[in-house]
Amino acid sequence: MNVPENWEQVLHIIDYAQSLDELKRIHETLIPFLKQQTISVEETERIYSFLNRAHRGMMKRALELAENRVIQENAGKRPDKISWMIMGSGARCEQTVWTDQDNGIVYSCENHERDDCERFVERFSEIGVEYFRKIGYPLCPGNVMATNPRWRQSIEEWKITLLEYSSGTTFNSMKFLFIAIDMAPIYGNVELVHHLREWLILNVKTRKSILFQLKDAILSHEVPINLFGKVFTERWGEYSGQFDIKTGVFSQFVNAIKFLAASSGYQETSTLSRMERLFKDGKLTAPMYEELKEAFTFLLFLRVKNSLAEKGDSHSLDQHIFLNRLSADSLKRLKQAMKITKRLQSSIYKRGDGD
């Protein structure tokens, strides 16, 4: 496939793709296409807007093809309401070129049709996840996918499960709860996902015991930079001497803002929109908001720039970088973003009750 000439052509090709092979090819053209564009901090928001429209478009088209196959196989009965949702960077519109899967299903059907509906949903999950893999989205190593019954439930079952997570009865309870807060619909009945997310965030906001546990969970991951500006890199293994953008600073920043938004009852899903809402509601001062936005935009820029590097298929999801290969200005901005993230974590730590 020839490299598209402009953003709209990419999206047009996705909308009218007739096969998985076409979707895979357009996914593979994203890197050469983006390399023809201006990749700068100033263009970062526009690039991510395009990338996430492209990702959601490819996933939606793949699910249309998957559902058609399930119907052709006559596998059970389609629920009256069903929705695929995504979590993680996809839900927050922060995906780079390559990303693995983080998805789930929520559905609603009559009790007397439950068995038939479950057969349909299970088969839909199998084909949908496999189609995602075929067009370039690797399986989630943490198994956050619709093929896992934990992430494929009726609306009633979802509420019971999320209440169990809220009670902190298992080691991963807070982890799963925090993942679910990001849920966003990509296919089917969007209101099901919106309703579930609204219900979840209201539950989180009004239960301070959950906020305490979430706060402890997000603050347990330190930002690896000391008071003198020394960044600590990987000490051992394949990535010795390298810095992981995601686990070293990006996740800490995202999770801190997510906590502040959830504790305020906000429904926004992207980190940028969450920060804007916090600012508009007076929970962030103007200087703090500008500082946070500048730092986060730079981290987004660093991630997308890194995703365009030639690393081979086996490292397409890797976010490790050599700090000595950054320009002096980029290294300075990275360290500043890390320090800002540490201050953000510190401000959350000082909150006595999550208010």
Q: Return the domain boundaries, the chain.
A: 1-206, 207-355
Share of the chain above pLDDT 90, in %: 79
Residues 61, 17: contact at Cβ < 8 Å? yes
Which tens digit of pLDDT belongs to each residue from 287-341? 999 999 999 999 999 999 998 875 544 446 788 999 999 999 999 999 999 999 9
Of 59-68, 71-80, 201-210, 273-282, which gets the smallest average pLDDT?
201-210
- Residue 125 pLDDT > 80: yes
Q: What is the mean pLDDT of residues 181-193?
A: 97
Residues 254, 292: contact at Cβ < 8 Å? no
What pLDDT does 100 receive?
94
Q: What is the mean pLDDT of residues 68-74?
A: 96
pTM: predicted TM-score of the whole model, two decimal places: 0.93
Architecture of the 207-355 domain:
Up-down Bundle (1.20)
Q: What kind of fold does domain 1-206 have according to CATH?
A: Beta Polymerase; domain 2 (3.30.460)
Residue 105 to residues 81, 143, 146, 186: CA-CA distances in angstroms?
Answer: 11, 14, 6, 10
Confidence of residue 111 (pLDDT cuts 50, 70, 90): confident
What pLDDT does 217 receive?
82
Which tens digit of pLDDT belongs to each residue from 12-47? 999 999 999 999 999 999 989 998 888 899 999 999
